[in-house]
Amino acid sequence: MNDSARYREVFFAEAEEHLQELNEGLLTLEKDPAAKDAVNTVFRAAHTIKGMAATMGFQTITTLTHRLEDVLDRVRSGTLSVTPELSDLLFRAVDRLEELLGAAQAGNEPPAASLEDILPELSRWAGMSEAPKLPQTNEASSAATDLSAYEARVIQEAGPQGFQAFFLTVYLAPDCIMKGVRAFLVFKKLEGKGEVLRAEPPVEDLEEEKFGTSFRLLFLTRETPAALEALLNGVSDVTKVEVRPVVLKTPEEARTPDVAPSRRENREEKQRHLSTQTVRIDIHRLDSLMNLVGELVITKTRLEQLLSGSSPEVEETLKALTRVAGGLQDAVMKARMVPLAQVFSRFPRMVRDLARELGRQVEFVIEGEDTELDRSVIDEIGDPLVHLLRNAVDHGIEPPAERERRGKEPTGHVRLSACYEGNHVLIAVEDDGEGIDCQAVLAKAEERGLITAQEAKTMSEKEIYRLLFLPGFSTAARITDVSGRGVGLDVVQNKIESLGGSVEVTSRPGQGTRFAIRLPLTLAIIQALLVKSGTETYALPLENVEEIQVVRTADLKKVRGRDVLLLRGEVVPLVNLRALLGGETAGEGEEEEVPVVVIRSGERAGLVVDGLVGQREIVIKSLGRFLGNVPGIGGATILGDGRVVLILDTGGVLALAEGRMDRRRMAS
Amino acid sequence: MQRKERQLVVFTLGKEEYGVDILQVQEIKRLTEITRVPNAPPFVEGVINLRGNIIPVIDLHKRFGLGAFEPGPESRIVIVTVRDITLGIMVDSVSEVLTLEEAAIAPPPPLVAGIEASFLEGIGRLDDRLLILLNMDRILGLEEVAAAQEFQNKAAEAGAGR
């Protein structure tokens, strides 16, 4: 990648961050027009984008952000207050900015004339006449060099008279006494040979000896560098003189992004980078690192088995290897973790726009955005969450009048929260809207032929909610372009399940709905429980295992023809793994006791297995394209001895057991 | 004039000799432990570990309706790659690699050794031997896999366009 391409990339990545700041800040300002911090943030973001865009030569973006900055400056100084009208305009300007950035990234920034619709309005708020101001002195070019605008001009003007500027660095002997006098002598020598434009440190400090063993002068002269060097070396105690000519940058050069937009921003950047030092890494590099670590874990396990029972030294070394491999794995996993804020941050704006569009009053709260998830999950989770949030605002929250009629406050609440829960992350979308009408759901399902009237009578609340996730099911009486046309929660569920997670709905009529998404913290390497089914071994993701019970066969009960287990007063349906998956029996007759693994994937069930092998760390591998999706199987893994063991997909296993797969297929 | 020739890996299933194009063959392995995959198509014997990759293994006896595969000392798994999909086929033995002129390959008769003609690419003659050339694409139903893949991609696109 060449330099300019890399700077472009950095520019767009940073511009995106500043856009986000703009959006967030404006949202805060809309709620609290007096929020000083928000004003400052917004102003700074606009200012930074302006500076960077000017450096990169994006004219239109510079023009727009410049005007935006003018308006924000008036807000900051208190001469303008944020009215709803102004905040709408500001949001529009930010949207335009986002468009412009997108276009510029694609390589076709529109001309400044395309801003006709928004620029005059911004100018009006900025308190200017319609005529656009002449561009201010080119900040980027003057600030970009080491010279002040004044110095640059003097040097430039003196050029034709044969004057050339130099930076003179004068080094004094470390044991030099009376440094001030030496400095004075240096000035004395230079007198008459030209003009000292600047001294670093300033002359006063030099006189008072407030400097180390060297100082620097900006000197304008007709002398040659050699002559200057000879001249100053004549001063006693001067050990070395460095003479560097000053080259003025042409405006063209000044625009090349090898220098930061401005010194001030540069300093801000540095300060920010001190607090969090980050490197942007291509996700594919992390992926290949991840794969290598996976192979390492497998090889390590194999090695352990091959060498088990060898000498204590070998055991000791193996233990060390295990520790290192574990540490490496953790480190790579952590490197892949990204806070949910990356996804969440765009939602406040979306919810606000949506609420306006639909005439709802919504207070949107986000909690736990610091919760981290694997990068690959973060990338995928956005769409499902957008869907659920839209549902909440569109179908959940009632119009203000309706809410008042029901005795609720007119403003509805939508809460998006995330937290850790053991080895996974729980993301919940809650609203205090009208809740799910079970009767309406049943009626719709019957109408669509998803269930029979008979089934409708016997369905539990949970089962009814599950109907919502069937393909083609949509409870909204109205079709809005907000919540789509029937492509609905089934898409959400599929996506979440493909990430190894699950979705659960709970609702109270008239009081609200809650969608809870559980996602594994990390993918690729998981903790698994190995179980026996006949002669075969299967792996169960540990995150789906709630507990393990050893149950006397005599204690198993039948309810309506199904085997169930009574677990602390709760009825848990039982599934016999071998009956479900086929395969040979291990040979022995009826057992007195059977191990039951209580699994959860949306709902609970007890898996009756033929034996427990133990807990292992496994690397998930795909079964490949040829086999594609095998019901109940989530993938495969290779054990330390090279054997292949299939990983059970608990959701799929339960679906198989209930014949839900058949019902799904019928529905689609 | 250039003579068109094909190199074939020759293996046996029951009493018949079969050939697959050598370009499709990755390697030949001794039988290893095969992990059964429940609910997979019946002719899929299971999956094996091929240097860290999970590879499905096909039982051609079952695919051709020739009865069950009986593992013997000569049994091998031939690893083939067709349409970027790598899988193993279980054979009773692998005999040799030989070169056959295109001219010596005849189109398949409707039924050979009880195998559907659509699974066959042709019959090769070499002296007095008859070689059955297999159409791996058809046998593995890869056209269907490809079609299913395309369908899934489209569905995913439609889903993303919401």
Q: For B5-160, which CATH superfamily applies?
A: CheA-289, Domain 4 (2.40.50.180)
Residue with the larger pLDDT of the pair B87 and B162? B87
Half-sphere exposure of A608 (CA within 13 A, CB side): 20
Q: What is the pLDDT of residues B109-141, one digit of tens each?
A: 776 666 677 788 888 888 888 888 888 888 877
Per-residue confidence at B35, pLDDT binned at 50, 70, 90?
very high
B54 has which bridge partners? Answer: B49
Give the one of A625, A632, A644 whose C-beta lies nearest to B38's C-beta. A632
* Residue-level pLDDT at A414: 94
Distance between CA atoms of A476 and A378, rounded to whole angstroms?
Answer: 29
Interface test with A, best of B29, B33, B36, B86 (most A CBs within 10 A): B36
Distance between CA atoms of A666 and B16, rounded to whole angstroms?
Answer: 43
Q: Classify burial at A271, counting beta carbons within 10 Å of its beta carbon; exposed 0-12, middle 13-18, buried 19 or more.
A: exposed
* Residue-level pLDDT at A428: 94
Select A283-339's CATH number: 3.30.110.30, 3.40.50.40, 1.10.287.560, 3.30.360.10.
1.10.287.560
Distance from CA of B1 to the nearest CA of A (A): 41
Q: Which residues contact A413 (CB under 8 A, 6 or more apart)?
A: A362, A363, A364, A365, A430, A431, A432
Q: Classify burial at A369, counting beta carbons within 10 Å of its beta carbon; exposed 0-12, middle 13-18, buried 19 or more.
A: middle
CB A214 within 8 A of CB A172: yes
CB A652 within 8 A of CB A631: yes
Active site residue A391: yes
* Residue-level pLDDT at B48: 92
* Residue-level pLDDT at A494: 72
Active site residue A223: no
B115 has which bridge partners? Answer: B112
- Interface predicted TM-score (ipTM) of this complex, two decimals: 0.82
Tell me the fold of A3-141: Four Helix Bundle (Hemerythrin (Met), subunit A) (1.20.120)
The pLDDT of B20-35, averaged and rounded, is 88
* Domain chopping of chain A, boundaries: 3-141, 146-248, 283-339, 341-520, 525-667
- Helix/strand/coil for A73: helix
- Give A396's DSSP letter: I
Interface test with A, best of B29, B34, B35, B145 (most A CBs within 10 A): B35
* Residue-level pLDDT at B31: 87
Interface test with A, best of B49, B137, B140, B151 (most A CBs within 10 A): B49
Give the one of B47, B145, B162 whose C-beta lies nearest to A491's C-beta. B162
CB B124 within 8 A of CB B104: yes
Give the ranges where A359-399 is alpha helix by DSSP (H): 375-391
Q: Which residues contact A626 (CB under 8 A, 6 or more apart)?
A: B56, B85, B87, B140, B142, B145
Asked if B85 lies within 8 A of A582 by C-beta distance, the reply is no
* Residue-level pLDDT at A622: 76
Q: Which residues contact A576 (CB under 8 A, 6 or more apart)?
A: A563, A608
- The CATH architecture of the domain made up of A341-520 is 2-Layer Sandwich (3.30)
- Chain CA centroid to CA B62, Å: 12
Mean pLDDT of the residues in chain A: 78
Strand duo A164-172 + A214-221: pairing: antiparallel
Reading the block at residue A55, the tokens are 């450096």
* Residue-level pLDDT at A249: 58
Q: What is the pLDDT of residues A33-69, one digit of tens each?
A: 888 888 888 888 888 888 788 777 788 888 888 888 8
Q: Which residues of B touch A622 (CB under 8 A)?
A: 54
Strand duo A603-608 + A570-576: pairing: parallel
The pLDDT of B64-80, averaged and rounded, is 84
* Residue-level pLDDT at B56: 94
* Residue-level pLDDT at A260: 38
* Residue-level pLDDT at A471: 67
Q: Which residues of A touch B159 (CB under 8 A)?
A: 487, 491, 494
- The CATH architecture of the domain made up of A525-667 is Beta Barrel (2.40)
* Domain chopping of chain B, boundaries: 5-160
Catalytic residue among A47, A387, A413, A424: A47
Active site residue A69: yes
* Backbone φ, ψ for residue B91 (5° rounding): -130, 160
CB B100 within 8 A of CB B126: yes
Give the ranges where A111-193 is alpha helix by DSSP (H): 119-125, 139-144, 149-158, 179-190
- Strands, E assignment, A194-336: 194-200, 214-221, 238-245
CA Rg value for chain A: 35
Residue with the larger pLDDT of the pair B55 and B52? B55
Residue reference for tokens 């559907």 = B116
Residues of chain A with pLDDT under 70: 1-6, 128-146, 249-277, 422-423, 471-472, 474-487, 498, 500, 522-525, 586-591, 640, 660-668
Inform me whether the C-beta atom of residue A457 falls under 8 Å from chain B C-beta atoms. Answer: no
* Residue-level pLDDT at A11: 80
Tell me the fold of A146-248: Alpha-Beta Plaits (3.30.70)
Give the one of B35, B39, B40 whose C-beta lies nearest to A644's C-beta. B35
Give the one of B44, B48, B160 whose C-beta lies nearest to A627's C-beta. B44
Asked if B54 lies within 8 A of A636 by C-beta distance, the reply is yes
* Residue-level pLDDT at A195: 82
